[in-house]
Amino acid sequence: MPSDYASGFAPWEDADATPLISFDGVTKRFGGFTAIDNIDLQIYPKEFFALLGPSGCGKTTLMRMLGGFEDVTEGRITIDGLNMAGIPANKRAVNMMFQSYALFPHLSVADNIAFGLKRSDMPKSEIQGRVDEMLRLVQLQKFAKRKPHQISGGQRQRVALARALAKAPKLLLLDEPLGALDKKLRQETQFELMDIQEKTGTTFVIVTHDQEEAMTVASRIAVMDNGLLKQVDTPDRVYESPNSVYVADFIGDVNIITGTASEVLENTQLIWAEGATPITGMTGSRVVQGEPASFVIRPEKVSISKDEPQAANKVEGKVIDIAYLGNMSTYHVALANGVIVKSQTANNRRIARRDITWEDPVWLSWTDTAGLVLRD
């Protein structure tokens, strides 16, 4: 969980807090195509806000509207109380870190960082000091004189960050900032990014398609699809209590069992197969009695055993596949009606000791609060 959330940083829950950014009924159309569909959204100072969604969902367009690279078709965007309509990119107190980094290949690292400062009202004498400060922040003092092609991918990423932060913008936009890095470096850099965000106190808005990245860095995540905001929430809530099957499916791995909601109280019973005991899960948003609904549960919340367990929900099935990932294994279990449910367990025993194998009849079980019943 993000430390700032745990430490009580939650301005979005405070009715008196003033948002830094506010989208009011914002729509963006490209010809006949609606990229952003009537969005309302508030982002607060010092937030690390992630826009998450598949490619083409509108997240990049939303960010580019903040940066001033796309204008708004309908609605209004305000930053720090100022209506942004008609204000071009070069007049906004917003800076952007581009997906390709967009480092100027003909300028040195230091000149790249100084580029924006030279075009601001900062006195010439102070520019050098600011550049040095930024180089220190991203630990690239030794590389000041190098050209972008003379440094590694990870270093380039840091130069791009330093350049975008040099003018101390109110808002920093990051377009897939870690997309070009390999997995290991990406994980290290995520923490660096959070560290720098905290140190500078800048509001960050990051665009990413990588849900793990969003979960790691963000104070809140907006899950987008087809130009709509599906859910805007903290990472734990997006994961634990998704408001739709789409969000549940998009974030992490999930089992989805469809059926009909039968008893909608604090928990909901889902009739999923004829003659089978209904499944119980927590009642999610907008579930209506007698209407179709889906039960969603994370594989790690499903236990697997050879003997019949004592549990609130249990189903019988046969192991058809085992994916061994080293630290954990995922069992694919086919139920009697053909539905496949995945169960994930940590491999805290050596492989020879585990007794479940292909074709074994097994029991899957979970508690009443482990899963969620959502409207389709």
Partner 1 sequence: MRRMTSFNVVSLTMGFAFLYIPMLILVIYSFNASKLVTVWGGFSTKWYGELLQNEAFLDAAWVTIKVGLISSTIATILGTMAAFVLVRSGRFFGRTLFSGMIYAPLVMPEVITGLSLLLLFISIGLPRGVTTIVLAHATFSMCYVSVVVSSRMASFDRSLEEAAYDLGCTGWDAFKSVTLPIIAPAVISGWLLAFTLSLDDLVIASFTAGPASTTLPIKIFSSVRLGVSPEINALSTIIIAIVTVGVITASITSKRAIVKKQREEQMADT
What count of Cα atoms within 13 Å lies in the side-chain half-sphere of residue 285? 13
* 160/244 Cα distance (integer angstroms): 36
Establish if 11 lies at the interface with partner 1 (CB under 8 A): no
Assign 3-class secondary structure to 92-114: CCEEEECCCCCCCCCCCHHHHHH
- When the beta carbons of 36 and 181 are compared against partner 1, the nearer one is 181
Establish if 9 lies at the interface with partner 1 (CB under 8 A): no
Q: How many residues touch partner 1 (CB under 8 A)?
A: 31
Residues 144-163 that bind partner 1 (CB under 8 A): 146-147, 149-153, 155, 163
C-alpha to C-alpha distances, 264 to 183, 271, 292, 353, nearest whole angstrom:
43, 12, 12, 42
- When the beta carbons of 151 and 319 are compared against partner 1, the nearer one is 151
Q: Which two tokens stand for residue 34?
A: 């609606």
Establish if 353 lies at the interface with partner 1 (CB under 8 A): no
Closest CA to 344 of 360, 321, 367: 321
Establish if 277 lies at the interface with partner 1 (CB under 8 A): no
Residues 157-216 that bind partner 1 (CB under 8 A): 163-164, 167
Residues near 96 by beta carbon (within 8 Å), at least 6 away in sequence: 63, 67, 164, 172, 173, 174, 175
- When the beta carbons of 116 and 284 are compared against partner 1, the nearer one is 116
- When the beta carbons of 8 and 105 are compared against partner 1, the nearer one is 105
Establish if 338 lies at the interface with partner 1 (CB under 8 A): no
To the nearest whole angstrom, how small is the minimum distance from the Cβ of residue 276 to partner 1? 54
- When the beta carbons of 131 and 297 are compared against partner 1, the nearer one is 131
- When the beta carbons of 167 and 298 are compared against partner 1, the nearer one is 167
Residues 60-119 that bind partner 1 (CB under 8 A): 67-69, 88-90, 94-96, 98-100, 102, 104-106, 115-116, 119
- When the beta carbons of 115 and 246 are compared against partner 1, the nearer one is 115
To the nearest whole angstrom, how small is the minimum distance from the Cβ of residue 125 to partner 1? 19
* 236/233 Cα distance (integer angstroms): 8
Residues linked to residue 294 through DSSP beta bridges, in sequence order: 258, 374
**Site for partner 1, rule CB under 8 A:** 67-69, 88-90, 94-96, 98-100, 102, 104-106, 115-116, 119-120, 146-147, 149-153, 155, 163-164, 167
